[in-house]
Amino acid sequence: MNTENHSQTAAFLWSVADLLRGDFKQSQYGRIILPFTLLRRMECVLEPTRQAVIREAKAQEGRPDLVREQMLLRAAGGLQFFNASPLSLGTLSDTQTADDLMSYVQSFSKDAREIFDHFHFEDYVQQLASADLLYQVVQRFAATDLSPARISNFGMGIVFEELIRKFAESSNETAGEHFTPRDIVHLTTSLVITGQDDKLKPNSIVTIYDPTAGTGGFLSEGEEYIQSISDNVTVSLFGQELNPESYAICKADMLIKGQTVGNIKLGNTLSDDQLPGSENHFDFMLSNPPFGVEWKKVQKQITEEHSLKGFDGRFGPGLPRVSDGSLLFLLHLVSKMRKAKDGGSRIGIILNGSPLFTGGAGSGESEIRRYLLQNDLVEAIVALPTDMFYNTGIATYVWVLSNHKVAARNGKVQLIDGSKYFSKMRKSLGSKRQYITDEQIDELVRLYGRFEETPQSKIFPIDAFGYRRITVERPLRLNFQTTAERIERVLEEKAIQKLNAAAQQRLTSALESMDASLQHRNREQFTKLLKKALSNHDVFPATAELKALLNALSERDPEADICMSKGKPEPDTGLRDNENVPLGESVYDYFEREVKPHVSDAWIDESKTDAQDGEVGIVGFEIPFNRHFYVFQPPRPLEEIDRDLKACTDRIKQMIEGLSA
């Protein structure tokens, strides 16, 4: 069944909204349609063993719950859930539909039953019954064939995602926070799992984890991909999701697949990691965290973990700014990596552009990049085309990380420009106007696998992304004068305004007694003259007051003498500058070559040293992706531009003549 048919199935299921219109708000449609779709899908999956389970349920009456559950699961043919009720959606009574329906749902095994709690299903059933719509809704779903023979688990994932997108549109929510387009899922999964034959030997057990699981798209695709390229490999899926409805769909999907549903958790991954400990390290990790989402709500817990646990926690390298938590998810994934000696781990995470370059040297973002790069964890970064996601058209990137690189990749990072690999969609889905075809995915994976320099693939040593930010100081040069304008500025200084009126008057008289026509270009000499004039008028300023006086009576003057402080030139904060010196180059050699010829009196502030290595200059890391793929296009010849301009002005003249004729 192709994607077009999946969309038609989703559209038919969503048409139940026509029944709900008027009695329910638009924002409620999804909360009714999604759980009923789940219920019907589960019913269709259980249909082949339904009668066997009902017979077993009668045989097990009165037995302990644990024994009864085990026997019913066995009767369900190896599925991880069952329903022991003789009822089905098609046989519910039209007179007591609500009671029958809830009895039917309560007859599911525990994990399946709990799924409906996350949708507050019983509340909506009662509301439908009160509006006299329940029986009609039940009949509509009972008539829809959602059997695995007609729609695969993968196809059903697409149906659910289409329904969530419609739900998001009807309730002004952001669908993209709950799932990732399947072409992007397929590309990321292929990049992460390709070439991992060592991990996928027959009879091995492989784990996949997604900390932002959504409806389970990455987990499903990962499992499907591994099963398609390997024989007899057991795949265990793990995930955590914040949104209750998405979590419920993911959990149902795992039940139907026969996965351990206890491995799928509900909650905020950043503040409440529900899969902690050394036992929860995974072979493959895939994630599409929300782009640019602030983490203010969980700031207290994350900051505490960073400061109290350091590198024993998840966020040791640093914390990004509160407005974007993307790099926190990346650090969380890194903390779940298996040790290299145990086979290591691979990560595929989709991020927007800001984690590549936001934050200067010493910032949380830069320190996180530094940690990832200096520990040789970043294997490749692939730029995706724009307009690929349902809720945004911004530039996005797939980061591939590994702590078990092949020898050729050690100490290197591959950047791949995949921004031109796309096809236009026949019909846009929200902001998604483009998609990557299977052939284009294969080409990008080949570009990655070949690990060669091409116009679309560049390879860099780690240090290429590092620099030392040095602070360049220049001396303060001031002239001093007691003009009326500058005396006016003196009286505006806070330290002077604190003096009483009599003291201010004496101060003014002292300043006016000095020769206003003289401009002094040496601070030390002027200070002596000033103190003498003040003393003659019984003014003895405190340190703060003297500083305020000198500040108000001075102006910058490149011709003035250098202001000295404790025998050293005093820096002019207004002329302070920073230079980024490529990592590995001597900051002094760079300074002599790039700075000194232009400003001969400048010097490096050697007190600004890096917190980690103690050397002069603060280390920073950034990945200026676009700069490395920029191709200069020379402007057109001037003659050609002149010709176009003349043709344009001639047309305008003709139009004006035509109007005046």
Residue 343 forms part of a structural domain = yes
Do the bridges between strand 432-435 and strand 564-565 make them parallel or antiparallel, or are there none, so unpaired? Answer: unpaired
Do residues 163 and 197 share a domain?
no
Do the bridges between strand 205-210 and strand 284-287 make them parallel or antiparallel, or are there none, so unpaired? Answer: parallel
Residue 644 forms part of a structural domain = no
Is residue 495 within a helix (H) or strand (E), and if so which, with residue range?
helix 494-497
Residue 419 forms part of a structural domain = no
3-state SS, residue 619: strand
Question: Rounded to an integer, what distance in angstroms lies between the CA atom of residue 466 and that of residue 510?
Answer: 56
Question: Rounded to an integer, what distance in angstroms lies between the CA atom of residue 190 and that of residue 346?
Answer: 12
Quick check: 229 and 200 in contact, CB under 8 A?
Answer: yes
Has residue 255 got a pLDDT over 70?
Answer: yes
Do residues 69 and 153 share a domain?
yes
Q: What is the mean pLDDT of residues 147-174?
A: 79
User: What residues have CB less than 8 Å from 579, skipping those under 6 apart?
Assistant: 469, 470, 472, 590, 591, 594, 595
Q: What is the DSSP letter of 522?
A: -
Has residue 230 got a pLDDT over 80?
Answer: yes
Buried b (16+ CB within 10 A) or exposed e, 445-470: bebbeeeeeeebbbbeebebbbbbbb
**Which of the four pLDDT bands, split at 50, 70 and 90, describes residue 587?**
very high
| pLDDT tens digits along 104-147 | 999 999 889 999 999 999 999 999 999 999 999 999 999 999 99
344: left (phi over 0), alpha (psi -120 to 50) or beta: left
- The average confidence (pLDDT) of the chain is 90
Segment among 56-65, 167-176, 357-366 with least mean pLDDT = 167-176
Q: What is the mean pLDDT of residues 288-294?
A: 85
Quick check: 59 and 77 in contact, CB under 8 A?
Answer: no
**Which of the four pLDDT bands, split at 50, 70 and 90, describes residue 303?**
very high
| pLDDT tens digits along 474-492 | 999 999 999 999 999 999 9
Could you list the residue range(s) of the whole structural domain that residue 514 is in?
478-551
Three-state secondary structure of 333-400: HHHCECCHHHCCCEEEEEEECHHHHCCCCCCHHHHHHHHHHHCCCEEEEEECCCCCCCCCCCCEEEEE
Q: What is the mean pLDDT of residues 263-286?
A: 93
Q: Which of 279, 290, 385 has the alpha carbon at shortest distance from 338? A: 279
Question: Rounded to an integer, what distance in angstroms lies between the CA atom of residue 418 and that of residue 443?
Answer: 10
Position of tokens 């949104």?
Answer: 243
Q: Which of 410, 436, 412 has the alpha carbon at shortest distance from 423? A: 436
Residue 590 forms part of a structural domain = no
Q: Which of 290, 249, 252, 247 has the alpha carbon at shortest distance from 270? A: 290
Do residues 149 and 213 share a domain?
no
Has residue 176 got a pLDDT over 80?
Answer: no
Q: Which of 155, 170, 185 is the last residue of a domain?
A: 170
Residue 613 forms part of a structural domain = no
Q: Which of 500, 535, 551 is the last residue of a domain?
A: 551
Strands (E), 518-567: 554-556, 564-565
Position of tokens 């019909």?
Answer: 427
Residue 422 forms part of a structural domain = no
The percentage of residues in the chain with a pLDDT greater than 90, rounded to a whole number, is 67
Quick check: 369 and 622 in contact, CB under 8 A?
Answer: yes
CATH number at residue 262: 3.40.50.150
The whole-angstrom distance between residue 13's C-alpha and the CA centroid of its chain comes to: 32
Position of tokens 């035509």?
Answer: 658
The whole-angstrom distance between residue 293's C-alpha and the CA centroid of its chain comes to: 7
Other CB atoms within a 10 A radius of the CB of residue 543 amount to 8
Q: Which of 211, 225, 219, 194 has the alpha carbon at shortest distance from 267? A: 211
Give residue 478's identity as a one-letter amino acid code.
L
Quick check: 326 and 289 in contact, CB under 8 A?
Answer: yes
Q: What is the pLDDT of residue 217?
A: 87
Do residues 192 and 144 share a domain?
no
Do residues 60 and 140 share a domain?
yes
Give residue 434's identity as a one-letter amino acid code.
Q
Q: What is the pLDDT of residue 173?
A: 53
Q: What is the mean pLDDT of residues 362-370?
A: 96
- Looking at the DSSP bridge assignments, the partners of residue 414 are 380, 459
In total, how many domains does the chain have? Answer: 3
Question: Rounded to an integer, what distance in angstroms lies between the CA atom of residue 87 and that of residue 106?
Answer: 11
Q: Which of 504, 536, 551 is the last residue of a domain?
A: 551
Assigned token pair, 403: 């702590």
Has residue 588 got a pLDDT over 90?
Answer: yes
**Which of the four pLDDT bands, split at 50, 70 and 90, describes residue 563?**
very high
Question: Rounded to an integer, what distance in angstroms lies between the CA atom of residue 207 and that of residue 284?
Answer: 6
Do residues 50 and 16 share a domain?
yes
- Largest Cα span, the chain: 114
Q: What is the pLDDT of residue 525?
A: 95
Position of tokens 């690999």?
Answer: 421
Do residues 150 and 83 share a domain?
yes
Q: Which of 518, 519, 523 has the alpha carbon at shortest distance from 476? A: 523
Residue 29 forms part of a structural domain = yes
Do residues 229 and 122 share a domain?
no
Position of tokens 């400048």?
Answer: 602
Residue 473 forms part of a structural domain = no
User: What residues have CB less than 8 Å from 100, skipping those under 6 apart?
Assistant: 87, 92, 93
Do residues 80 and 205 share a domain?
no
Do residues 136 and 152 share a domain?
yes
Q: Which of 536, 561, 539, 558 has the alpha carbon at shortest distance from 549? A: 539
Q: What is the pLDDT of residue 172?
A: 55
Segment among 77-81, 99-103, 468-472, 647-651 with least mean pLDDT = 77-81
Other CB atoms within a 10 A radius of the CB of residue 298 amount to 17
Question: Rounded to an integer, what distance in angstroms lies between the CA atom of residue 506 and that of residue 400?
Answer: 72
Has residue 219 got a pLDDT over 70?
Answer: yes
- How large is the angle between the packed helices 182-193 and 438-450, nearest 10 degrees? 30
Do residues 330 and 402 share a domain?
yes
Do residues 223 and 272 share a domain?
yes
